[in-house]
Homo-oligomer: A and B are copies of this chain.
Amino acid sequence: MKSEKISEAVVRRLPIYWRYLSELQRREVSTVSSQELGQKLDLNPAQIRKDLAYFGDFGRKGIGYDVAYLIEKIRHILNLDQQINVVLVGAGNLGHALSNYNAYLKENLKIVAVFDAYEPKVGTQINTLKVQPMDELYDTIKNHNIRIGIITVPEYEAQQVANQLIEAGIAAILNFAPIILKTPPHVRIHAADFTTEMLSLAYYLEEGKEDSTDGE
């Protein structure tokens, strides 16, 4: 199942399905149709059925999808039936804000260490974590089997931090710095840059109206 290649657009929708399914589960809703999902998530129901069909045929005609089962499936597809340790580099405002999300992450995806190059920040506390100096980065990543890195340092430091993360074996990076990182092909980078989101929103101010659902 995992050997089949899934498009990036689908992978990005899975957490969105998952989040809403989790909300349904909290409300003790046990089944949901692709129509309901589509309406709620502003996606085409046919697209949703196609996405979910990648992972096997879960839906039942006239009944819909079993919420608990679908959550479990998506959890498995996203590798979250194991614990994944995350490191955050850059203990500024954004770093603090993201660390606060840790409390919400019940999904085996945990920020387990925070680093900063700025000496006065080292030793300060972010929630339950103590900010560590950069010279402990390599060993901490190795010793805690950390697999994802979050970069929240300023633009001019981001590339160096990325290099250090990759050197220590990190293969997936969420980059909040507004630059395009140069990385080897085996490293997966997601850019989480708020200006990009803002700029694409601006497009819709004039257009405003209907949105199109598209494959990729």
A residues bordering B, Cβ < 8 Å?
A: 2-3, 5-9, 11-12, 14-16, 18-20, 23, 40-41, 77-80, 84, 86, 92-94, 96-98, 100-101, 104-105, 107, 109, 147-148, 150, 169, 171-174, 178-180, 186, 188, 190-192, 194-216
How long is the Cα–Cα vector from A30 to B27 in the complex, in angstroms? 56
Ranked nearest first, the 8 interchain pairs of A and B with the lowest CB-CB distance are A94-B97, A15-B199, A93-B97, A7-B214, A93-B96, A188-B204, A15-B196, A186-B212
How long is the Cα–Cα vector from A169 to B208 in the complex, in angstroms? 12
Q: How far is the CB of A200 from chain B (nearest CB, A)?
A: 5
Supplied contacts A16-B196, A148-B202, 12 more A-B pairs, CB within 8 Å = A6-B212, A15-B195, A19-B196, A78-B199, A93-B93, A97-B97, A105-B198, A172-B208, A174-B201, A186-B208, A186-B212, A188-B201
User: Is there contact, CB below 8 Å, between A197 and B186?
Assistant: no
User: Is there contact, CB below 8 Å, between B180 and A190?
Assistant: no
Q: Which B residues lie within 8 Å of A92 (CB)?
A: 97
Smallest Cβ-Cβ distance to A192: which chain B residue: B197
Q: How far is the CB of A94 from chain B (nearest CB, A)?
A: 4
User: Is there contact, CB below 8 Å, between B194 and A174?
Assistant: yes
How long is the Cα–Cα vector from A204 to B100 in the complex, in angstroms? 24
User: Is there contact, CB below 8 Å, between B201 and A77?
Assistant: no
User: Is there contact, CB below 8 Å, between B199 and A14?
Assistant: yes
Known contacts: A93-B96, A180-B40, A199-B15. The answer to whether A212 contacts B8 by CB under 8 A is yes
Q: How far is the CB of A141 from chain B (nearest CB, A)?
A: 12
User: Is there contact, CB below 8 Å, between B14 and A203?
Assistant: yes
How long is the Cα–Cα vector from A41 to B191 in the complex, in angstroms? 11
Q: How far is the CB of A98 from chain B (nearest CB, A)?
A: 6
